[in-house]
Amino acid sequence: MTDSPGPAPRSRTLRAIGAVLGSAVGDALGAPFEFGPEGVFSARFPAPGDGAGMCGGGGWEPGEATDDTQMAVLVGESLLEHGGLELPDVFARFRRWAAAGPKDIGLATEAVLTGGDPWDLAAALHFQTNGRAAGNGALMRASTSAVYFAPHGREATMDAARRIAALTHGDRAAWEGTAIFHELIREALTGGDPLEAVATTLGAVHPGHRARYAQVLAPDWHPDLATEFNGAVWPCLGSAVWALRTTTSYEDAVRAAVDLGGDTDTVAAVTGGLAGAVHGPDAIPDRWTQPLHVPLPGFGDRVLNGPELMRLARRLASPGGEAD
């Protein structure tokens, strides 16, 4: 806790932009450090506010967003073009993207999207065969859908999260983690404190999965207590909520996330979504948003820049164009 919180963002639309942009920036910031040890980010950029930049590395350009944000954009554009959730279309976009050979793609996601099975069976068939599909690969891409479904209320946004997660992940644990993220973002967009909403949110989680999420979302939980690699959905979400809880700014939250090591781009993307929604887009440093860009393999030469991503977030927050 190195600095005082800035002024709270004024409107729901600003918080929505913060969620989408914050997730993308976390993704790009964490990408060069993926699968590294703890503390690498702080070792390279010792103090907050020291000009820590988008450094690139590990095959990533400075500011280049990975599969987390690329898939989030695909979901967001499908929602807007169809005026709602059209699952076969989301799956078709995912498949087109996966076929184009993105630099980064989760193992389960790749198997499901390239296996040739129909959209409503592919993930379940993969889960039946492999028995493991509780990765963070659905949670990581949920910022856009969380913003879009927030006005529809708790039940609807959690249900939409589960359905989109189920396109690639057959394990209900992945659905429930994504549903929790959707609901915490909804709370933040209303101006509430997502940390205070954890208990209520857990009450809406499938009973068979509630205890495990209660554990990683508890105030005294620490990422060191994780029993799996943070590429799994539970410690990934737990670490993001821990990073939000133990910091007072967007920058400190995503620094803490990247410093955990492991699946740094995704832990920082989830953290950045929450922290961006709470602290707003103005809390995200310009030196991080300016180099941000989101390539979309399979969709021509399209590369979204920061302002284009913000426009997408604004439309998702107000699909009818109404201001708030």
Alpha carbon distances (Å) from 59 to 34, 55, 226: 11, 11, 28
From the list 60-68, 123-131, 164-172, 218-226, the region that binds Mg ion by CB under 5 A is 60-68
**Least distance to Mg ion from the beta carbon of 270, Å?**
11
Nearer to Mg ion, 67 or 259 (CB): 67
Nearer to Mg ion, 13 or 66 (CB): 66
Give the total of residues touching Mg ion (CB under 5 A): 5
Residue 263 touches Mg ion, criterion: CB under 5 A: no
Task: Give residues 173-232 in contact with Mg ion (rule: CB under 5 A).
Answer: none
**Least distance to Mg ion from the beta carbon of 104, Å?**
4
* Single residue of 13, 66, 143, 230 touching Mg ion by CB under 5 A: 66
Nearer to Mg ion, 67 or 176 (CB): 67
Residue 64 touches Mg ion, criterion: CB under 5 A: no
Residue 68 touches Mg ion, criterion: CB under 5 A: yes
Residue 104 touches Mg ion, criterion: CB under 5 A: yes
* Single residue of 64, 67, 159, 259 touching Mg ion by CB under 5 A: 67
Is 220:17 a contact under the CB 8 Å cutoff? Answer: no
Question: How many Cβ atoms sit within 10 Å of the Cβ of residue 46?
Answer: 9
Nearer to Mg ion, 105 or 274 (CB): 105
**Least distance to Mg ion from the beta carbon of 131, Å?**
23
Nearer to Mg ion, 20 or 150 (CB): 20
Is 289:306 a contact under the CB 8 Å cutoff? Answer: yes
Q: Which residue has the closest beta carbon to Mg ion?
A: 66
Nearer to Mg ion, 68 or 252 (CB): 68
**Least distance to Mg ion from the beta carbon of 259, Å?**
17
Distance between CA atoms of residues 229 and 233, nearest Å: 9
Residue 251 touches Mg ion, criterion: CB under 5 A: no
Nearer to Mg ion, 68 or 183 (CB): 68
Distance between CA atoms of residues 223 and 239, nearest Å: 6
Nearer to Mg ion, 33 or 221 (CB): 33
**Least distance to Mg ion from the beta carbon of 266, Å?**
6
Is 95:89 a contact under the CB 8 Å cutoff? Answer: no
* Single residue of 175, 237, 265, 293 touching Mg ion by CB under 5 A: 265
Binding track, positions 123-142, relative to Mg ion; x by CB under 5 A: --------------------
Instruction: Please report, as ranges, the residues that interact with Mg ion according to CB under 5 A.
Output: 66-68, 104, 265
